[in-house]
């Protein structure tokens, strides 16, 4: 969702960038550090050497701009910081890091955490709900992640909690978390809605028939989850998404300004 805060004056932004460039030059992260942090991740391995350099720089800038906080005394090692930041910047490699300006803090739990939420039904009755989560994203932050699930990314086909939660933050930059992030000029919003709705209906039909699904059935929770799960699958298992719903894959290529299949 759009931030209510006004952007800082240009001169501050220039100063911020200059200071960040200086901090960036002082960091010494070796190729081995990156390899230990991300070397087992298929999405990272797919990028060329040059693209990995862009990813490294974006990840370090993200670490300079955001606060990573461990809960219950959880120590966040440098390797974990690099891993999370490296995964987090993948969705914005073609968009720019300022797409994450709406949040500042990332909170890390050791394992799944219990979230308490209240919601109001159509009759105005407020319901309390408690559920175990592997991740959560709020409109102006924080991002909340379970470290165990971060480490599990790439163990299950198409699953990546970091990309999932960060996709929610992109979605929230439009009017609300509704499965429709702000589209770039030249993108067709009507075609986006039509093709994602058709994919939703197809997924619901396949789930009901008990067929093998191209994306996690959690996508059917609501349109926001649908977009987040599509985004995970787009980066983690692009072929399965492209073969199930080529038009949806094409919309995500246009939105993310990346084509994961062209890299394989
Ligand atoms: Zn979600």
CA 5 to CA 23: how far, in whole Å? 26
CA 205 to CA 257: how far, in whole Å? 30
| Residue 26 pLDDT class (50, 70, 90 cuts) | confident
Q: Which residues are found with C-beta within 5 Å of the ion, ligand 1?
A: 225, 228
pLDDT at 21 over 90: no
149 touches 140 (CB < 8 A): no
CATH number for region 174-264: 3.40.390.10
| Residue 5 pLDDT class (50, 70, 90 cuts) | very low
Distance (Å) of CA 45 to CA 87, 94, 118 = 12, 17, 41
Average pLDDT for 78-102: 94
How far is the centre of ligand 1, averaged over its atoms, from the C-alpha of 218 (Å)?
Answer: 8
How far is the centre of ligand 1, averaged over its atoms, from the C-alpha of 258 (Å)?
Answer: 22
CATH topology for the 9-153 domain: Cyclin A; domain 1 (1.10.472)
Q: Whole-model pTM? A: 0.87
How far is the centre of ligand 1, averaged over its atoms, from the C-alpha of 166 (Å)?
Answer: 9
Give percent of the chain above pLDDT 70: 91
Q: Which of 24-33, 145-154, 168-177, 217-226 has the highest mean pLDDT?
A: 217-226
pLDDT tens column, 199-223: 999 999 999 999 999 999 999 999 9
Q: Which of 19-28, 97-106, 118-127, 171-180 has the highest mean pLDDT?
A: 97-106
The confidence score (pLDDT) of residue 139 equals 79
Question: In the numeric block, which tokens belong to residue 111?
Answer: 């394992």
- Chain-centroid distance of CA 139 in Å reads 13
Q: Are strands 135-137 and 143-146 parallel, antiparallel or unpaired?
A: antiparallel
How far is the centre of ligand 1, averaged over its atoms, from the C-alpha of 136 (Å)?
Answer: 7
Q: Where are the domains of the chain?
A: 9-153, 174-264
Residue 58 vs residue 6, higher pLDDT: 58
The confidence score (pLDDT) of residue 264 equals 63
How far is the centre of ligand 1, averaged over its atoms, from the C-alpha of 23 (Å)?
Answer: 33
pLDDT at 154 over 70: no
One fold for 9-153 and 174-264: no
How far is the centre of ligand 1, averaged over its atoms, from the C-alpha of 149 (Å)?
Answer: 13
pLDDT at 240 over 60: yes
In DSSP terms, 143 is beta-bridged to: 106, 137
How far is the centre of ligand 1, averaged over its atoms, from the C-alpha of 225 (Å)?
Answer: 5
How far is the centre of ligand 1, averaged over its atoms, from the C-alpha of 117 (Å)?
Answer: 14
pLDDT at 7 over 60: no
237 touches 212 (CB < 8 A): no
């Amino acid at each position: 969702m759009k931030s209510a805060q006004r952007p800082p004056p240009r001169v501050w932004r220039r100063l911020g960038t200059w200071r960040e460039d200086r901090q960036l030059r002082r960091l010494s992260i070796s190729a081995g550090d990156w390899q230990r942090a991300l070397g087992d991740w298929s999405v990272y391995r797919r990028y060329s050497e040059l693209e990995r350099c862009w990813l490294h720089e974006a990840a370090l800038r993200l670490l300079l701009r955001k606060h990573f906080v461990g809960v219950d005394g959880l120590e966040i090692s440098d390797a974990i910081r690099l891993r999370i930041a490296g995964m987090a910047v993948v969705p914005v490699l073609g968009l720019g890091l300022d797409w994450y300006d709406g949040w500042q803090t990332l909170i890390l739990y050791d394992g799944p955490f219990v979230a308490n939420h209240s919601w109001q039904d159509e009759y105005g009755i407020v319901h309390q709900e408690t559920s175990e989560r592997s991740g959560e994203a709020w409109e102006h932050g924080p991002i909340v992640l379970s470290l165990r699930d971060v480490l599990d990314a790439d163990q299950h086909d198409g699953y990546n909690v970091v990309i999932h939660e960060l996709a929610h933050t992109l979605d929230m930059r439009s009017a609300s978390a509704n499965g429709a992030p702000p589209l770039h000029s030249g993108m067709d919003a009507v075609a986006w809605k039509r093709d994602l709705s058709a994919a939703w209906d197809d997924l619901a039909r396949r789930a009901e028939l008990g067929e093998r699904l191209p994306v996690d059935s959690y996508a059917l929770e609501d349109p926001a989850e649908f977009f987040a799960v599509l985004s995970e699958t787009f980066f983690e298992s692009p072929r399965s998404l492209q073969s199930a719903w080529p038009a949806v894959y094409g919309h995500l290529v246009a939105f993310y300004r990346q084509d994961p299949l062209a890299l394989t």
